[in-house]
Amino acid sequence: MGDSERGRRHTPDTEEVCAAIHDALESLPLLSSPTDVPFGDGLYFFYEDGETSEHAADGRVVRVGNHPKRQAGLVSRLRAHYSGNKNSSVFRRILGGALLRRRDPASPCLAPSPGKGHWEHQNDKACERCQPLEKEVSQLLRSSFRFRCVKVVDQEERNDLEKVLIATLAACPVCRPSATWLGNHAYSDKMQSFGLWNSDHVGGPPITAHQLERFRSLARASLEAFDERRDT
């Protein structure tokens, strides 16, 4: 059984749990700048224009992100996405590769194979032909993406939650990508199959009832952090 088939299997309550995750997030402010985040440790959840779901008025989550290896790295990770370059942000490489593949699947910047061309490969330099993608990716993020953040200070807990949240969202049969989703041009077949800008952890164990309640509690506490900043 392939990864995609495993990911599409779901327990009877998968839709309900996915809806609960979106509901917990919906109380939080929808942000467009890393400077709007009032805490340094947490998970972030991207939303994308055109990607809808009956689970949430603002649409489905399209990417779950983390800063898994160091503390106080949430804001800097988001800044790398919005204002960095392809080698400082996996998300930027994936977005740029999808933009390029949609426009020109035969581009030499994508050769010799998906994920191996100099644009999509970590630490390879962008050439003169694909260098303009950096500006295009930044513009795309600012115009078409928004995000929410949940404060999770403990690194082990944060890493565990990231895994099960991705797995649960990917398994939901309701939160499917639109026909025009840019991710349909991503180099990863997992992204295309599961409808997330994530490939790691899809097809993995879903969130447990205990973890879901903990996530709800963390989301409520995060809202208090946003309220405190607004009141100061």
The Cα–Cα gap between 50 and 26 comes to: 17
pLDDT in tens, 131-155: 999 999 999 999 999 999 999 999 9
> Could you state, in order of their start, the residue ranges of all structural domains in the chain?
3-88+136-178+195-225
The Cα–Cα gap between 72 and 38 comes to: 11
Q: Quote the distance between the C-alpha of residue 24 and its chain's center.
A: 17
pLDDT in tens, 95-135: 999 999 999 999 999 999 999 999 999 999 999 999 999 99
CB 98 within 8 A of CB 183: yes
**3-class DSSP state of 163:** helix
Q: What is the pTM of this model?
A: 0.93
Tell me the sheet residues that pair with 147: 31, 46
pLDDT in tens, 52-103: 999 999 999 999 999 999 999 999 999 999 999 999 999 999 999 999 999 9
pLDDT in tens, 171-205: 999 999 999 999 999 999 999 999 999 999 999 99
The Cα–Cα gap between 40 and 10 comes to: 34
Q: Is residue 232 very low, low, confident or very high in pLDDT (cuts 50, 70, 90)? A: low
Is the pLDDT confidence value at 8 over 50?
no
* One-letter identity of residue 50: G
CB 17 within 8 A of CB 207: yes
Q: Which alpha helices (H) appear in the chain, and where do they start and end?
A: 3-8, 14-26, 74-83, 90-103, 133-144, 155-171, 189-194, 209-231
